[in-house]
Amino acid sequence: MNGAFDYGAAFSRNIGWVTESEQQALRGKRVAIAGMGGVGGVHLLTLARFGIGAFSIADFDTFDIVNFNRQAGAVVSSLGQPKADVLARMARDINPDLDLTVFGDGVTDSNLDTFLGDADLYVDGLDFFAFSARRATFAACRRLGIPAITAAPLGMGVAFLCFTPESMSFEEYFCLEGCDEDEMALRFLLGLSPAMLQRSYLADASRVNLSEHKGPSTIAACQLCAGVIATEGVKLLLGRGNVSVAPRGYQFDAYRNRFVRTWRPGGNRNPIQRIGLAIARRQLAGMKEARARG
């Protein structure tokens, strides 16, 4: 079957939006993606269809039926199988010539430098609550000089942030040092989405439980994230087109038909953010009290 595959023919319809020489440049790029779940898997498949030639992917989890509503590799035949292995097979079905390395234990302190080795770009696909792994990965990207991008699937929209070696760092923006997990969750959420466009149409607030790492999700948001990640990622890899970097970002909400550019100098230390965090803390405390009362 590999003999029937032709890279030039497979990705010829990209030409026009990229040049032939740019397509060959993408063939020589490596993208590292941590997390093969809700967004990570569809990021991999979308970037593979752009003709990216090499990937490092990491995930320790297996597919479960609760993943069916949003995760690219979640089907009956993949139940119980490692997410990274399933997505690797799917990506190789798109491009059998891929140089693809699988890290089946996820990202850890001991493998981060290897995982990010030779990477031209890091794409964040980690679970929302994987704060320790995410902080370590973004810190390693900064140390190694690798651009790192994240697109959060919020409601039925996407919020995008980019951290480069020259921009504000992930830690400077989110200010997670010394926080407990609930506070990290609030700071991460509000930092990703200063405009909080998704908040107005949440249909059942009881489904949000930060302390138990639970929250609703949609495939619409995951697919929007993949389009944004692929577009911004290709701009970074080819070195053309404007990419907003932290503390600037943006959010698009398809449900509300709204697009907002965000700018938070100082990140979560910004006075507007601090007000928002204070409100969010009160709301979280109220939700906990309501659940305690039954």
pLDDT in tens, 16-70: 999 999 999 999 999 999 999 999 999 999 999 999 999 999 999 999 999 999 9
Nearest C-alpha neighbor of 128 from the set 226, 247, 233, 210: 210
d(CA 185, CA 169) in angstroms, rounded, equals 18
123 beta partners = 33, 149
Q: Write the pLDDT tens digit of every residue in 273-293.
A: 999 999 999 988 877 776 677
Per-residue pLDDT band at 205 (split at 50, 70, 90):
confident
Q: Is 38 helix (H, G, I), strand (E, B) or coil?
A: coil
For residues 140 and 116, is the Cβ–Cβ distance under 8 A?
yes
Nearest C-alpha neighbor of 127 from the set 201, 60, 203: 60
Q: Write the pLDDT tens digit of every residue in 166-191.
A: 999 999 999 999 999 999 999 999 99
Phi and psi, residue 30, nearest 5°: -120, 130
Nearest C-alpha neighbor of 218 from the set 128, 155, 139, 172: 155
Model pLDDT, residue 47 = 98
Nearest C-alpha neighbor of 25 from the set 187, 223, 239, 168: 239
Model pLDDT, residue 75 = 97
Share of the chain above pLDDT 70, in %: 98
Average pLDDT along the chain: 95
Neighbours of 88 (CB within 10 A): 22
CA distances from 168 to 117, 249, 268 (A): 22, 12, 12
Specify the pTM.
0.95
Dihedral (Cα; 74, 153, 101, 242), 10-degree rounding: 150
For residues 185 and 176, is the Cβ–Cβ distance under 8 A?
no
Cα radius of gyration (the chain): 19
Mean local confidence (pLDDT), 81-93: 98
Q: Report whether pLDDT(1) > 60.
A: no
Mean local confidence (pLDDT), 88-114: 97
